Amino acid sequence: MSSVNQTLNPAGGVSAPPAGLRPADRKAGRARETRRKWYEIIGLTTPAIVVYVMFVLVPIGFAFYYSLFRWRGVGPPTDYIGFDNYVMAFQDPIFLDALRNNAIIVFGSLLIQGPIALGVALLLNRHFRGRTVFRLLAFVPYVLAEVTVGIMWKLILTENGTFDALLRSIGLGGLIQAWLADLDIVIWTLLFVLTWKYVGFAIILLLAGLSNVPQELNEAAQIDGASWWQIQRHVTLPLLGPTIRIWMFLSMIGSLQVFDVIWVTSVPAVRSLGASATMATYMVDNGFFARLWGYGNAIAVILFVISFVAAILFQRFLLRRDIEGAITRKAK
Partner 1 sequence: MAIKRRVRTVLALSITTALLATGCSGGESEEPAESELYKNPVTLTWWHNASQDGPGKEYWQKVAKDFNALHPTVTIEIEGIETNQLQRTRLPAALLSNDPPDIFPTWGGGEIREQVEADYLKDLTDLAKDEIANVGSSAEIWAVNGRQYGLPFRMGIEGIWYNKDMFERAGIAAPPSTFEELNEAVTKLKAINVVPIAVGAGDKWPAAHWWYNFALRACSVDTLKKASKDLDFEDPCFLKAGEDLKAFIDTKPFQNNFIATPGQNDPTSANGLLANGKAAMELMGDWNKGTLDNVAEDAEAMNKFIGWFPVPAISGSNGDPKAALGGGDGFSCAKNAPAECVEFLKYIVSPEVQKGYAETGTGLPVAKGSESGVSDPALRSILEATTSATYVQLWLDTAFGSTVGNAMNDAIVAIFAGNGTPQQVVDAMKSAARK
Beta bridge partners of 69: 80
Scanning residues 42 to 81, which ones bind partner 1 (CB under 8 A)?
42, 46, 49-50, 53-54, 58, 70, 72-75
Scanning residues 260 to 289, which ones bind partner 1 (CB under 8 A)?
267-270, 272-273, 286, 288-289
Q: Please identify, using beta-carbon distances, which residue of 27 and 233 lies nearer to partner 1.
A: 27
Contact between residue 246 and residue 92 where contact means Cβ atoms under 8 Å apart: no
* CB 178, min distance to partner 1, A: 5
* CB 87, min distance to partner 1, A: 12
Q: Please identify, using beta-carbon distances, which residue of 28 and 49 lies nearer to partner 1.
A: 49
DSSP string computed for 217-263: HHHHHHHTT--HHHHIIIIIHHHHHHHHHHHHHHHHHHHHT--HHHH
Residue 79 sits at φ, ψ, to 5 deg, of: -90, 90
Cα 193 from Cα 179, distance rounded (Å): 11
* Binding track, positions 201-230, relative to partner 1; x by CB under 8 A: ------------------------------
- H/E segment holding residue 80: strand 79-80
Select from 261, 249, 264 the least CA-distant residue to 323: 249
Q: Say whether residue 188 binds partner 1 (CB under 8 A).
A: no
Q: Can you state the angle between helices 114-124 and 237-256, rounded to 10 degrees?
A: 140
Kindly determine how many residues on this chain lie close enough to bind partner 1 according to the rule CB under 8 A: 37
* CB 146, min distance to partner 1, A: 17
Q: Please identify, using beta-carbon distances, which residue of 59 and 114 lies nearer to partner 1.
A: 59
Q: Please identify, using beta-carbon distances, which residue of 75 and 225 lies nearer to partner 1.
A: 75
Neighbours of 115 (CB within 10 A): 10
Cα 253 from Cα 168, distance rounded (Å): 37
Q: Please identify, using beta-carbon distances, which residue of 153 and 198 lies nearer to partner 1.
A: 153
* CB 70, min distance to partner 1, A: 7
Contact between residue 289 and residue 136 where contact means Cβ atoms under 8 Å apart: no
* CB 101, min distance to partner 1, A: 16
The three-class DSSP label of residue 20 is coil
* Binding track, positions 153-182, relative to partner 1; x by CB under 8 A: --x--xx------------------x-xxx
For binding to partner 1 (CB under 8 A), which residues are involved? Answer: 1, 38, 42, 46, 49-50, 53-54, 58, 70, 72-75, 88, 155, 158-159, 178, 180-183, 267-270, 272-273, 286, 288-293, 295
